[in-house]
Structure 1
């Protein structure tokens, strides 16, 4: 039997270590993710391409973006998607490329919609892992705020149940006690103070609450709103998403309510990890197969 022809790379990284295939794993407004291969380690990886748009000719913004991405590359935690390499395309100066580890089952939103029969215990394990990732980011010096945490930015290896927070294209790097001033994120998951452009890492806890709401109800928060403007009005007015009415478990509802509280009353990620809701969930449990 003749050997099958090797699938060709359509692009190589500057060093030649990483080769990109044509297969598209995911796409957003400014980013595309392709299947790729690390020839040095013999591993499949994800090749991310980000269109810089109007930032491409702004050296200050490009320098800041590079600095932030490189800092993220120094993060080392099993609940954070590993960043291996980053470079700007010399031929297409409006394109930033970066290589991350690949997760076998895609993002949590897709995975959850594919597997609708999931126990509360499994959801607790997923939620616990997201909080462990946030705990690491927020304790980092300097503090790392994700700012765009949602179920499509959390990735999963379905054969182990391992979750990893990724997609840090909008992450903010701030001094430990500082606040950042920029509105970026997914409206349905954004804390009210994000719109006011004066916030701390607790915005990620708010977003985590919305993630938990989606995991439990299989509904994207504020799906009843017909526009982003309507979402914004509800969020700043303190109107909760209608999906909350479909949360039957009182303990789950209590955790979500804590996360959606005003910033001054909102618990930190480490506070939530100590909540009785997560009793019995630990590092030894996350790779157990949940009852489907």
Structure 2
């Protein structure tokens, strides 16, 4: 898709505040560009996400507006920051934090090519940051619903974690359950697959799957118990058939934590608060 630079007429307020930079990408959810704040002597870079809501499907347009609203309410060091929102003529422009070190999928792929595992201290630090970000979402009543390496961004000299892409996230009440079957098949929880109303526990499952992938560089495989002509992730008959074993170099305590995140029954699954406590108390070096 060809890049379409937003016109000055549409973006008077935006272009008064920001200098538009190079084109990054275009897709079904809009155009992404770089920008800098006018008058900033350091020239700090931001991401501009530009969407013409009239050209999106209803679901994608609603998702874009929901993402903007949710991000406005969030201010956490491990969640991508939304700096500005400009909306006019049904065109939505989000100015967001630029994470300059790519995403976690890129980093996992690099390790896989080199056949080298992440070290324990990095896994521990990243999992702490991820859990703090997820806990912040849950404390605000937000279920992310699409936790996966492609939506986890890295930034800064120390590769700090930022959780992004809240396009299909949803705010729910404490005792409420969501019902929409949505998400990325490899990371969706058993209850979501089965069509059972779900809540914050579904994010913990996805976080556990992602931690297994970070530790093993392999993917957890989820398949239906019965063969069907078509399996597009949602079925009432689900079983986890392949959870790669975490290498012994990471210690027994990290393995035990992973198991608490991947309980098939969501009521048995650890919460974000409990997970943060367990990770905080992990030793700085792996136990035997």
Fold equivalence (TM over 0.5): yes
Which residue does 1:268 correspond to in 2?
271
Q: Is there any run of 5+ residues in structure 1 with no aligned partner, and where?
A: 1-8, 282-292
Moved over 6 A (4+): none
Instruction: Please give the alpha-carbon distance, in whole angstroms, between the structure 2 residues aligned to 1:172 and 1:55.
Output: 16
Per-residue deviation, 1:199: 0.9
1:255 to 251, 254, 257: 257
| Residue 211 (1) aligns with residue 210 (2) | yes
| Residue 150 (1) aligns with residue 158 (2) | no
Root-mean-square deviation (CA, aligned residues, Å) is 3.3
CA 1:167–1:65: 2 relative to 1, 3 Å: closer
| Residue 131 (1) aligns with residue 131 (2) | yes
For residues 1-292 of structure 1, what are the structure 2 equivalents within 5 Å? Answer: 10-11=5-6, 13-15=11-13, 16=15, 17-24=17-24, 29-39=28-38, 41=40, 42-50=43-51, 52=53, 53-55=56-58, 62=62, 66=65, 69-88=68-87, 90=89, 93=90, 96-115=92-111, 116-140=116-140, 143-157=141-155, 159-195=157-193, 196=195, 198-222=197-221, 230=231, 232=233, 236-240=237-241, 242=242, 244-249=243-248, 250-261=252-263, 262-275=265-278, 278-280=281-283
Q: How many residues align?
A: 260
Per-residue deviation, 1:184: 1.9
Instruction: Please give the alpha-carbon distance, in whole angstroms, between the structure 2 residues aligned to 1:114 and 1:70.
Output: 34
CA 1:228–1:187: 2 relative to 1, 3 Å: farther
Per-residue deviation, 1:192: 1.9
Question: What per-residue deviation string (whole Å, max 9, x for no partner) do you get for residues 159-192 of structure 1?
Answer: 2231111111111011222222322211110112
Per-residue deviation, 1:234: 8.4
CA 1:166–1:276: 2 relative to 1, 3 Å: closer
Please, what TM-score do these two structures have when normalized by structure 2?
Answer: 0.77
Deviating more after overlay: 253-262 vs 164-173: 253-262
User: Matched residue of 1:232: which SS?
Assistant: coil
CA 1:48–1:267: 2 relative to 1, 3 Å: same
Per-residue deviation, 1:279: 2.2
Which residue does 1:3 correspond to in 2?
none
Deviating more after overlay: 260-269 vs 67-76: 67-76
Task: Give yes or no for contact 1:128–1:278 (8 Å, CA) kept in 2.
Answer: no
Task: Give yes or no for contact 1:10–1:19 (8 Å, CA) kept in 2.
Answer: no
